[in-house]
């Protein structure tokens, strides 16, 4: 966007306030031209002021803040500053009122020599937002220099034979001012013989010739003195004088004459020493020594010219004898003279203009005007990072500069103004990927060969909280041995946050939750600084085997970010529980009793010791050992089952009371143990109803992990337990009670509060004893369940029933529903559960009264009935 031009003209004589509080009157005209342009989000403008040279410190230049439309109150906050390419800080801005004033007296002749125009180029930089302005201050010449001659006195030798009208060139006066303030005219003081003729060279410079008006007579007057005055065109007028002394000599009446009034030559800068610039040529019509011409620099040749160039006095060759630099001066003015070697030689003068040709001998210069770093990683694309200016002191194509940055960085370089660039972001930054960039700026000119300069800009990326903490593991598994000391460290969780500083400072906490109905904070705590987790109580494996806690890591950023991780804590068992004997139970609190028929054979199962250990694994693996016996050779105890069996047949001489002490020991380290005392009473006979059980042979059963946690039944009874939820198929042996005189089988049926036995005899059998609620423990794959035993009753059926007759049409067991399952006896199928009616039916016909064991198989989860048989011969819990 381009704004209309605005001309600001101030023409008045006013008092301007100095930055130090004094007032300086300044008369002048300040012309301000404001040109605004919007380029790459920067508002660029150019202002031009004009001031005379030699102003005192504090002199008013212009109200730059007002001219740019800036708020004076915000100049300091926006870091308003001036950047100048000059060696001295000639101008400065008062940030309190926005006035541009003279900081140091300006000498135009020192700054720009005799250049027709003289400017100070300034750059104004303002931040927040970043703005750039260009300011040109034209330095106007004032008549502060008087014309001057190279010498205060000129000595001329003129032969008396000189004819009237002869001209004698004089050394020109020089005025450092330019324009109307430069040299304007000459004036000669009154005398009898000479007048002044003012000449103008091709370049516009003026010089004076002394013209002989009347002949000289050496004999009358040998010397003549007069004053030459040079005037400039300034106001007020300034002048300079020189004394001319003329000595009258005998005749050498011709002076050398240059073939050109002004010579012009071109010279490449950095030309080597001895390079020929040009050859002067002057001729003298005289003969002999009066016609021999010599050359030299005239008195006006400045010292720097004499240091760079030399003139051969005899050949007139001008050669290089120093380092010629185009950047220091593009044109040199050489004032030369020629005169003959005769007496009363008169010098003639000429000027040599040497144009210096530029070569590409200066590499570009890169200047960082403003750098905004660090930059936030979420800064939008196009954010200005730096303002860069480039310059090349060469001219033409040698001074045209192109600036570039590498393409593999997320930044771009935009050209905002001639030789000005802005460095901006081209995409969003990620500090976690790259925290800082070293951007190499390459400035290359268009010379041949091109020269380049590299400058590195360090751009640091500041962090924002854009990354949540990350745990070192997706979850943690911790093993803690029970009976640990409260306050002990059980594990440590570690998280990492890729952010920096406060955004990466982590604190750990345990989220609210419950363990067995209690707050998790009553079980464990965590160190918020390092993630160490501590147990607040001693864990008991038998009460709590595992639990989970949720740990949170949160950073200190704003807003804070957090992550969670699950910690699975497993309590490891210790052998801290001794075995407990649950069967047989002592009747009087100390000793258990059992009855053994005297007629039993070797291997007879007397009873089985059942013990429990609340520990797990090897700590609960029990072994049994007979540590004391009335007759050590009569009974044995199975090491792992606890079965007490006869070693041999009992004889008459064996005592009727046998005392056994059995040690039950677990497999822990160290092992724990318990003992049980059993008194066995040997009897000669058992009830007749048990006699038929002697011929029963039970098929061998595989080892079972099922353990009955105690039973206490009348001599002739059966019980069942139900509702065990197991994951595999199990097979149990079932024996009928010995009270079955009317039929071959007695069937046990669960009796719940909602069901009534159909069979009166079964009901009477049921009422003959009271089944008690018991519990059974089944260890299957580490999962333990316990449920109360069902109340049971006995059922009977007639042996005359045919195959398929219903024994009990509503055998409502837990799990036995619409799909029936087989009941087997030994190798033949005696009874079956109806597939359609869920009732128990007869299988093969029964040819005689007998009692037979049944095997109930059920495929599915758990079993529903466990049958207990007590009778003659082999029996027990199966």
Stretch 183-191: mean pLDDT: 91
Residue 256: per-residue pLDDT:
92
With b meaning 16 or more CB within 10 Å and e meaning fewer, what string describes 721-750? bbbbebeeebebbbbbbbbbeebbbbbbbb
Q: Of 54-63, 175-184, 280-289, 860-869, which gets the smallest average pLDDT? A: 860-869
Q: Can you read off the two tokens belonging to residue 21? A: 């509080």
Q: Using omega within 30 degrees of 0 as the cis cutoff, is the peptide bond preceding 449 cis?
A: yes
Regarding whether 714 and 836 lie in a shared domain, the answer is yes
Torsion angle of C-alpha atoms 66, 67, 68, 70, degrees rounded to 10:
0
Residue 839: per-residue pLDDT:
42
Regarding whether 160 and 75 lie in a shared domain, the answer is no
Residue 735: per-residue pLDDT:
39
The tally of domains found in the chain comes to 7
Q: Please give the mean pLDDT across all residues of the chain.
A: 77
Question: Percent of the chain, pLDDT > 70?
Answer: 73
Regarding whether 720 and 821 lie in a shared domain, the answer is yes
Helix %, strand %, coil % of the chain (to 5): 5, 45, 50
Candidates 87, 57, 69; CA nearest to 124 is 69
In whole angstroms, give the CA distance from residue 52 to residue 46: 20
Residue 866 has pLDDT above 80, yes or no: no
DSSP readout, 654-706?
Answer: S-SEEEEEEEEEESSSS--EEEEEEEEEEES---GGGGGGGG--PPP-----E
Domain boundary pick from 140, 172, 203: 140
Residue 755 has pLDDT above 50, yes or no: no
Residue 581: partners with Cβ closer than 8 Å, 6 or more residues away? 609, 610, 611, 664, 674, 676
Q: Which residue has the higher pLDDT, 10 or 158?
A: 158
The continuous run of DSSP H or E covering 66 comes out as helix 64-68
Candidates 191, 174, 335, 371; CA nearest to 258 is 335
Most confident region among 520-534, 696-710, 789-803 by mean pLDDT: 520-534
Q: Which residue has the higher pLDDT, 772 or 289?
A: 289
Residue 298 has pLDDT above 80, yes or no: yes
The answer to whether position 242 is within a domain reads yes
Burial (Cβ within 10 Å: 0-12, 13-18, ≥19) of residue 341: middle
Domain boundary pick from 571, 593, 628: 571
Residue 345: per-residue pLDDT:
84
In whole angstroms, give the CA distance from residue 548 to residue 443: 64
The answer to whether position 698 is within a domain reads no
Regarding whether 544 and 495 lie in a shared domain, the answer is yes
Burial (Cβ within 10 Å: 0-12, 13-18, ≥19) of residue 249: buried
Residue positions counted in the chain: 878
Render pLDDT for 590-608 as a digit per residue (tens, 0 to 9). Answer: 789 999 999 999 999 999 9
Most confident region among 65-69, 184-188, 546-550, 846-850 by mean pLDDT: 546-550
Q: Of 157-171, 445-459, 754-768, which gets the smallest average pLDDT? A: 754-768
| pLDDT classification of 87: cutoffs 50, 70, 90 | confident
DSSP readout, 329-361?
Answer: -SEEEEEEEEEESSTT---EEEEEEEEEEP-S-
Burial (Cβ within 10 Å: 0-12, 13-18, ≥19) of residue 173: buried
Stretch 79-98: mean pLDDT: 87
Residue 640: per-residue pLDDT:
94
Render pLDDT for 401-427 as a digit per residue (tens, 0 to 9). Answer: 999 999 999 999 998 778 889 999 999
Render pLDDT for 13-40 as a digit per residue (tens, 0 to 9). Answer: 333 333 333 333 333 333 333 333 333 3
Residue 42: per-residue pLDDT:
52
What angle (nearest 5°) sits at the alpha carbon of residue 491, between those of residues 489 and 495? 125
Domain boundaries, position 98: 6-140
Q: Which residue has the higher pLDDT, 344 or 229?
A: 229
| pLDDT classification of 589: cutoffs 50, 70, 90 | low
Stretch 178-203: mean pLDDT: 89
Regarding whether 242 and 172 lie in a shared domain, the answer is yes
Candidates 572, 784, 581; CA nearest to 665 is 581
Residue 346: per-residue pLDDT:
86
Q: Confirm if 106 and 80 have CB atoms less than 8 A apart.
A: no
Regarding whether 823 and 714 lie in a shared domain, the answer is yes
Residue with tokens 């198929």: 729
In whole angstroms, give the CA distance from residue 37 to residue 57: 33
The answer to whether position 699 is within a domain reads no
State the number of CA atoms in the 13 A half-sphere of 330 facing the CB.
10
State the number of CA atoms in the 13 A half-sphere of 751 facing the CB.
22
Q: Of 539-543, 546-550, 576-580, 700-704, which gets the smallest average pLDDT? A: 700-704
Residue 100: per-residue pLDDT:
93
Regarding whether 495 and 350 lie in a shared domain, the answer is no
Which DSSP state fits 164?
T
Render pLDDT for 616-635 as a digit per residue (tens, 0 to 9). Answer: 999 999 999 999 999 999 99
Residue 647: per-residue pLDDT:
95
Stretch 375-387: mean pLDDT: 92
Regarding whether 280 and 381 lie in a shared domain, the answer is no
The answer to whether position 813 is within a domain reads yes
Candidates 72, 93, 63, 68; CA nearest to 81 is 93
Residue 740 has pLDDT above 80, yes or no: no
For 593, the 3-state DSSP assignment is: strand
Regarding whether 371 and 350 lie in a shared domain, the answer is no
Render pLDDT for 61-71 as a digit per residue (tens, 0 to 9). Answer: 999 988 888 88
| pLDDT classification of 291: cutoffs 50, 70, 90 | confident
Which DSSP state fits 180?
G
> How many beta carbons lie within 10 A of that of residue 268, not counting itself?
14
Regarding whether 133 and 211 lie in a shared domain, the answer is no
Q: Which residue has the higher pLDDT, 416 or 749?
A: 416
Stretch 864-871: mean pLDDT: 36
Residue 183 has pLDDT above 60, yes or no: yes
Residue 357: partners with Cβ closer than 8 Å, 6 or more residues away? 266, 267, 268, 269, 326
In whole angstroms, give the CA distance from residue 791 to residue 767: 11
Q: Confirm if 350 and 260 have CB atoms less than 8 A apart.
A: yes
Which DSSP state fits 204?
S
The answer to whether position 344 is within a domain reads yes
Residue 120: per-residue pLDDT:
87
CATH classification at residue 380 = 2.60.40.60
Q: Can you read off the two tokens belonging to residue 6? A: 């605005």
Regarding whether 199 and 275 lie in a shared domain, the answer is no
Intra-chain end-to-end CA distance of the chain, in Å: 103
| pLDDT classification of 578: cutoffs 50, 70, 90 | very high
Regarding whether 728 and 602 lie in a shared domain, the answer is no
Residue 98 has pLDDT above 80, yes or no: yes
Most confident region among 364-378, 670-684, 840-854 by mean pLDDT: 670-684
Torsion angle of C-alpha atoms 179, 181, 184, 190, degrees rounded to 10:
-170
The answer to whether position 179 is within a domain reads yes
Q: Can you read off the two tokens belonging to residue 721? A: 């337990």
In whole angstroms, give the CA distance from residue 359 to residue 267: 11
Q: Can you read off the two tokens belonging to residue 844? A: 């093969």
Residues β-bridged to residue 257: 283
Domain boundary pick from 551, 571, 591: 571
Render pLDDT for 483-497 as a digit per residue (tens, 0 to 9). Answer: 999 999 999 999 999
Q: Which residue has the higher pLDDT, 743 or 156?
A: 156
> How many beta carbons lie within 10 A of that of residue 320, not counting itself?
20
Residue 408: per-residue pLDDT:
92
Render pLDDT for 437-465 as a digit per residue (tens, 0 to 9). Answer: 999 999 999 988 999 999 999 999 999 99
Residue 553 has pLDDT above 90, yes or no: yes
The answer to whether position 114 is within a domain reads yes
Residue 68: per-residue pLDDT:
87
For 766, the 3-state DSSP assignment is: helix
Candidates 1, 24, 27; CA nearest to 13 is 27
Phi and psi dihedrals of 7, rounded to 5?
-100, 130
> How many beta carbons lie within 10 A of that of residue 354, not counting itself?
23
């Amino acid at each position: 966007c381009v704004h209309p031009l605005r001309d600001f003209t101030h023409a008045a004589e006013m008092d301007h306030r100095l930055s130090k509080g004094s007032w300086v009157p300044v008369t002048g005209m300040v012309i301000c031209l404001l040109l605004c342009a919007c380029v790459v989000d920067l508002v660029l403008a150019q202002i031009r002021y004009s001031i005379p040279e030699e102003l005192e410190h504090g002199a008013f230049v212009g109200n730059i803040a007002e001219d740019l439309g800036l708020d004076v109150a915000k100049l300091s906050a926006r870091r308003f500053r001036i950047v100048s390419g000059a060696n001295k800080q000639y101008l400065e801005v008062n940030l309190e009122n926005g006035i541009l004033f003279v900081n140091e007296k300006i000498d135009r002749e020192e700054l720009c020599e005799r250049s027709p125009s003289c400017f100070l180029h300034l750059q104004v930089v303002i931040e927040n937002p970043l703005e750039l302005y260009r300011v040109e201050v034209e330095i106007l010449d004032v008549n502060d220099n008087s014309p001057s001659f190279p010498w205060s006195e000129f000595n001329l030798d003129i032969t008396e034979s000189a004819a009237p009208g002869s001209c004698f060139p004089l050394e020109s006066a020089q005025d450092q001012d330019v324009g109307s303030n430069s040299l304007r005219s000459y004036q000669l003081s009154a005398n009898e013989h000479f007048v002044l003729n003012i000449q103008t060279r091709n370049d516009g410079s003026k010089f004076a010739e002394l013209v002989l008006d009347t002949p000289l007579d050496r004999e009358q007057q040998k010397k003549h003195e007069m004053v030459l005055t040079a005037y400039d065109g300034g106001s007020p007028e300034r002048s300079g004088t020189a004394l001319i002394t003329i000595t009258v000599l005998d005749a050498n009446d011709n002076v050398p004459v240059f073939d050109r009034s002004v010579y012009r030559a071109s010279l490449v800068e950095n030309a080597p020493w001895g390079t020929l610039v040009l050859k002067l040529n002057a001729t003298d019509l005289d003969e002999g020594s009066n016609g021999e011409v010599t050359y030299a620099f005239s008195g006006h040749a400045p010292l720097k010219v004499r240091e760079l160039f030399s003139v051969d006095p005899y050949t007139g060759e001008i050669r290089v004898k120093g380092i010629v630099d185009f950047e220091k001066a593009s044109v040199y003015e050489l004032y030369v003279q020629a005169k003959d070697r005769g007496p009363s030689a008169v010098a003639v003068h000429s000027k040599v203009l040497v144009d210096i040709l530029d070569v590409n001998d200066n590499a570009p210069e890169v200047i960082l005007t403003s750098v905004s770093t660090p930059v936030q990683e979420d800064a939008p694309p196009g954010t200005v990072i730096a303002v860069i200016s480039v310059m090349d002191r060469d001219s033409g194509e040698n001074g045209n500069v192109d600036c570039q940055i590498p393409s593999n960085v997320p930044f771009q370089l935009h050209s905002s103004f001639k030789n000005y660039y802005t460095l901006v972001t081209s995409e969003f930054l990620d500090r976690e990927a790259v925290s800082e960039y070293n951007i190499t700026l390459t400035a290359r000119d268009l010379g041949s060969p091109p020269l380049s300069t590299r400058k590195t800009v360090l751009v640091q990326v500041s962090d924002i909280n854009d990354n949540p903490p990350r745990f070192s593991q997706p979850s943690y598994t911790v093993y803690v041995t029970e009976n640990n000391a409260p306050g002990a460290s059980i594990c440590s969780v570690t998280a990492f946050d890729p952010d920096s500083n406060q955004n990466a400072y982590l604190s750990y906490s345990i989220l609210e939750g419950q363990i067995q109905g209690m707050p998790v904070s009553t079980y464990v705590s965590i160190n918020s600084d390092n993630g160490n987790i501590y147990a607040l109580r001693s864990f008991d494996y038998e009460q709590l085997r595992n639990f989970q806690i949720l740990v949170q890591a949160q950073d200190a950023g704003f807003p804070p970010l957090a992550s969670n991780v699950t910690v699975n804590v497993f309590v490891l068992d210790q052998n801290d529980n001794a075995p407990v004997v649950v069967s047989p139970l002592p009747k009087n609190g100390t000793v258990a009793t059992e009855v053994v028929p005297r007629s039993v054979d070797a291997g007879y199962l007397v009873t089985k010791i059942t013990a429990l250990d609340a520990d797990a694994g090897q700590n609960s693996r029990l072994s049994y050992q007979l540590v004391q016996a009335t007759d050590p050779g009569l009974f044995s105890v199975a090491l792992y089952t606890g079965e007490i069996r006869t070693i041999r047949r009992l004889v008459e001489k064996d005592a009727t009371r046998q005392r056994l002490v059995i040690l039950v020991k677990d497999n822990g380290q160290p092992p724990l143990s318990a003992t049980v005392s059993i008194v066995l009473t040997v009897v000669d006979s058992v009830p007749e109803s048990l006699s038929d059980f002697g011929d029963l042979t039970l098929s061998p059963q595989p080892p079972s992990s099922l353990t009955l946690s105690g039973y206490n039944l009348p001599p002739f009874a059966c019980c069942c337990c139900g509702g065990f939820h197991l994951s595999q198929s199990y097979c149990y042996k079932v024996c009928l009670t010995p009270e079955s005189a009317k039929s071959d089988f007695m069937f046990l049926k669960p009796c719940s509060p909602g069901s009534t036995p159909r069979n009166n005899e079964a009901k009477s059998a049921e009422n003959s004893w009271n089944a008690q609620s018991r519990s059974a423990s089944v260890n299957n794959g580490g999962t333990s369940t316990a449920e109360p035993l069902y109340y049971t009753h006995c059922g009977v059926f007639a042996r005359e029933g045919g195959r398929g007759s219903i024994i009990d049409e509503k055998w409502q067991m837990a799990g036995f529903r619409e799909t029936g399952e087989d009941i087997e006896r030994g190798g033949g199928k005696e009874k079956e559960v109806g597939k359609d009616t869920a009732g128990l039916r007869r299988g093969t016909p029964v040819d005689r009264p007998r009692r037979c064991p049944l095997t109930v198989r059920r495929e599915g989860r758990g079993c529903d009935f466990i049958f207990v048989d007590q009778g003659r011969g082999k029996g027990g819990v199966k």
